[in-house]
Amino acid sequence: MAVFDFLKKKEIKFYPSKEFYLDILSEDRIKVSTNTNNDILNAYYKTPQLASIVNYSAKVFSRNDLRYYNESGEQQENEFLDMLENPHPLYSEGEFWETFSKQFDLFNIVLIYKVAGVGMPISGMFILPFDLITIKAKKNIEPIDVFLAKDLDDIIDYYQLSYDNKKYKIETDDVWMLTGSSLRFDDAGFLEPDSVVSTLAFPIQNIQANYEARYSLVSNRGALGMWINQDKGDAGAIPISDPEKKNIRDSFRRVFGMTKNRDIIGLTDANLRFENASIPVKDLELSQAIKDDKIAICDGFNFPILLLNELEGSTFSNLGIAERLLYTNKTIPFWELVAKSMTREFIETGYLEFYTNDIEALKKDDKVQAETNEQNTNIVISLNDAVSSGTMTHDNAVNTLVLIADVAEDVAKEVITTNIKPDEEL
**Most confident among 12-21, 91-100, 411-420 (mean pLDDT):** 91-100
pLDDT of 369 above 80: no
The DSSP-derived string for 207-243 is HHHHHHHHHHHHH-----EEEEE--EETTEEPPPPHH
Do 204 and 308 sit in the same domain of this protein? yes
Same domain flag for 156 and 175 = yes
Do 18 and 150 have their domain in common?
yes
Sorting pLDDT into bands at 50, 70 and 90, what band is 185?
low
Instruction: Please tell me whether residues 255 and 311 are part of one structural domain.
Output: no
CB count within 10 Å of CB 292 equals 14
Q: Based on the domain organization, do 162 and 302 belong to the same domain?
A: no
pLDDT at site 6: 42
pLDDT of residue 148: 79
Across 359-363, 397-401, 411-415, 417-421, which has the greatest mean pLDDT?
397-401
Q: Is the pLDDT of residue 209 over 90?
A: no
pTM here?
0.66
Burial call 249-273: b when 16+ CB within 10 Å, e when fewer: eeebeeeeeeeeeeeeeeeeeeebe
Count of domains forming the chain? 4
Plot region of 222 (φ>0 → left; ψ -120 to 50 → alpha; else → beta): left
Select the more confidently predicted residue: 304 or 281: 304
- For residues 407 and 399, give the distance between their C-alpha atoms in angstroms, rounded to a whole number: 10
Give the residue with greater pLDDT, 275 vs 111: 111
Residue 181: C-alpha distances to residues 189, 194, 311 (Å): 18, 7, 34
Task: Looking at the structure, tell me whether residues 329 and 349 fall in a common domain.
Answer: yes
Domain of 180, in residue numbers: 5-35+109-194
Half-sphere exposure of 341 (CA within 13 A, CB side): 16
What band does 317 get if pLDDT is binned at 50, 70 and 90? low
Give the pLDDT band of residue 310 (cuts 50, 70, 90): low
- Helix, strand, coil percent values for the chain (each to nearest 5): 50, 20, 30
The model's confidence at residue 365, banded by pLDDT at 50, 70 and 90, is: low
Model pLDDT, residue 180: 82
User: Where residue 95 falls among pLDDT bands split at 50, 70, 90?
Assistant: very high
pLDDT above 90 covers a percentage of the chain that reads 27
